[in-house]
Chains A and B, each alone.
Chain A
């Protein structure tokens, strides 16, 4: 392993480490635009110049591998002067429209100019003008004047999605990023080019002008859009509620996890959060009697559910858990089922259309926690429960989240089952055709409104944190279920998600030894699958490209 010195710090790095990564290890940041650890080296922006002893000129750090005995200096006068000149060069034709640029506040032209700028512009000529606000596809907007031609987006489409839509056309100061004429940037990961664009050239059509980025707060989370569980940050707007039409969740951004999603997320996950601030959100407990809907208190709703669980025989009760519920919720549900001994429980509702999948990130199972639900022993036969409802053997059905009418089961049969039920209880975040039939509706907090963990298809347990308060009176499912347990006369020690998880880890062997602390920010893989609970999907790891 080569040993070298960077700004006087000795460091030893694995062979093949470039100077930007080597410098990071000793806390030295080398400014750069085009270099990205997930992409090939382009050497395009020239900003990462450093001085290397016995080398006559400053050298780009991204394309220089650390070598034995190398002495690197990143802050010599010559390097500083070079950076200043390169910043000047990048800004020659830049429109300087920061006040109306969506990237302002997280723009690397701004950030580096503060430190390395010239502060005395020498340009007198008219700038070269290029197209502005050009939609490249459903999600990405191009401003060619702001582009510094780092080619990160081009390399992303070539190397990561391998779709190759983008190119740098024309030359010299007329060069611009673009699409082959007549095509659009519509691959399943297009939003990532906005993340890796270091300037305001590529912005997110969904987020543009919604909120200034400096008003956003962020929470570490996990994407609930499929069984992969990509690590994300949830960006919420709490400080300027009059912006973004009252929507609290402003955007989702990928969060690096070497073992799950690296730097990327798919567009379906990135833009799949609209339900959180949607008009269909359930915000108060409700009771439906003779077709009329009325608000109820939580006490009434919990009392009604507990009463039903007591009144009906255990075999007359069916439960549809949801693979979108957290491990903590599912464990609390299992405790509720165990109290009266309910056995008719399932969590899978087959989708009408099979989910799309690829070899990069996207899994066909569009649920974040099928694996967890299976490990917790909730994997019963849903069709059989509905058949029993049609046969009037099941008289009380409690549905979590699902719209049973939207699945692959024949709609008429499901409809007949729901009609035959004397009591239908629904718990979920948003109204759907099933909740419209429910006699009791218990509003649940969305994943960004609470804490919890999901178990992904590989058996990796990952935490998601609370970013905003629950909407209206909504509560996390574990809280609703804990209240039901107490109403059933069961003593409940857990009053927080973490306590429920601790209880779960003590009871279910697969989760043995896991704690929120052990899971941390990047997740922890379950020791071994519990015998008797089939894995939701093959556990073989699909390598990332």
Chain B
């Protein structure tokens, strides 16, 4: 959407007081990247003709660093790009891989799309819910595992499958799921 980049406004003062777009005082951020990470942010911003394109990789960096994308993180990242917090909120809510609340140490995402569904994904999800004592979308009380049910992860030939953190697990059975869960600390 054009016009979102706040740096192109000729009338916008370059050194604005620390207020948000509604004119409210912004509290000093308690989230902040390290100097090294800020260098990475600048590098990412320099990779694209329009530096807003670096918003996604910077949000992933923020999620790695702060655990999840809180409203405070959104404001902080908006400041790094001179965008409005509303614009960053648009991006974060559009994509499903940004966590907007604290997540578990491990994320288990079971594919619920057509191939996996036909191959028994609903039973796998039911088994996981029973073992973990939570529903899809929730995190165990000890903060160990967040359970998700997601769209196709492009491994239909191995259905039913799931993603555990950054690994794919194929050909799931309740027994295999139990072994995988035991490995998650």
Contact = CB atoms under 8 A, between A and B. Distances in A.
Which of A40, A158, A170, A171 has the most B CB atoms < 10 Å from its CB? A158
B11 A164 contact: no
Given A183-B22, A183-B24, A169 B84 contact: no
A189 to B, nearest CB: 13
B86 A162 contact: no
B71 A182 contact: yes
A171 B11 contact: no
B9 A162 contact: yes
A138 to B, nearest CB: 12
Contact of A164 (B24, B86, B93, B94): B86
Interface in B58-92: 71, 74, 83-87, 89-90
Interface in B1-51: 1-4, 6, 9, 11-12, 20-24
Contacts of A363: none
Given A181-B71, A183-B24, A186-B22, A166 B86 contact: yes
Interface string A152-169: 001100110011111111
A267 interface: no
Contact of A40 (B2, B83, B84): B2
A93 interface: no
A219 to B, nearest CB: 34
Nearest to A42: B1
A162 B22 CA distance: 11
B90 A168 contact: yes
Contact of A163 (B11, B21, B71): B21
A112 B30 CA distance: 50
A545 B11 contact: yes
Given A151-B1, A180-B84, A545-B11, A163 B89 contact: no
Nearest to B9: A162
A184 B86 CA distance: 11
A170 B94 contact: yes
B1 to A, nearest CB: 7
A517 interface: no
Given A165-B86, A167-B86, A168-B90, A180 B9 contact: no
A196 interface: no
Most chain B CB within a 10 A radius of its CB, from A159, A167, A545 = A167
A359 interface: yes
Given A164-B6, A545-B11, A180 B85 contact: yes
Contacts of B24: 183
Interface residues of B, number: 24
Contacts of A186: 22-23
Interface of chain B, helix or strand or loop or mixed?
loop
Contact of A184 (B1, B22, B83): B22
Interface string A182-216: 11101100000000000000000000000000000
Interface in A379-437: none
A28 interface: no
B129 to A, nearest CB: 23
Contacts of A155: 1, 3
Contacts of A101: none
B20 to A, nearest CB: 7
A304 interface: no
A75 to B, nearest CB: 30
A2 B127 CA distance: 67
Contacts of A526: none
Nearest to A184: B22
Interface in A109-166: 151, 154-155, 158-159, 162-166
A498 to B, nearest CB: 41
Contact of B90 (A42, A167, A187): A167
A179 interface: yes
Contacts of B11: 162, 359, 545
A179 B86 contact: yes
A490 B161 CA distance: 99
Contacts of A170: 93-94
Contacts of B89: 167, 169, 180-181
Given A162-B11, A180-B86, A169 B3 contact: no
Contact of A169 (B2, B9, B93): B93
Contacts of A154: 1
B74 to A, nearest CB: 7
B3 A40 contact: yes
Contacts of A40: 1-3
B2 A164 contact: no
Q: Which residue, B3, B6, B20, has most C-beta atoms of chain A within 10 A?
A: B3
Nearest to B10: A545
A14 B22 CA distance: 39
B74 A180 contact: yes
Given A180-B71, A180-B84, A180-B85, A165 B21 contact: yes
Contacts of B83: 164
A168 B89 CA distance: 9
A158 B71 contact: no
Nearest to B24: A183
B113 to A, nearest CB: 15
A158 B20 contact: no
Contacts of B12: 162
A513 to B, nearest CB: 37
Contacts of B6: 162, 164
Contacts of A182: 71
Contacts of B20: 180, 183
Contacts of B9: 162
Which 3 pairs across A and B sit closest by C-beta, in order of nearness? A164-B84, A167-B86, A167-B90
22 contacts: A40-B1, A40-B2, A151-B1, A155-B3, A158-B4, A163-B21, A164-B6, A164-B21, A164-B84, A164-B86, A165-B21, A165-B22, A167-B84, A167-B89, A167-B90, A169-B90, A170-B93, A171-B94, A179-B86, A183-B21, A183-B22, A186-B23
Given A162-B9, A162-B12, A165-B86, 19 more contacts: A40-B3, A42-B1, A158-B4, A159-B3, A162-B6, A162-B11, A163-B84, A164-B83, A164-B84, A164-B86, A165-B21, A165-B84, A166-B86, A167-B87, A167-B89, A180-B21, A180-B74, A181-B71, A184-B22
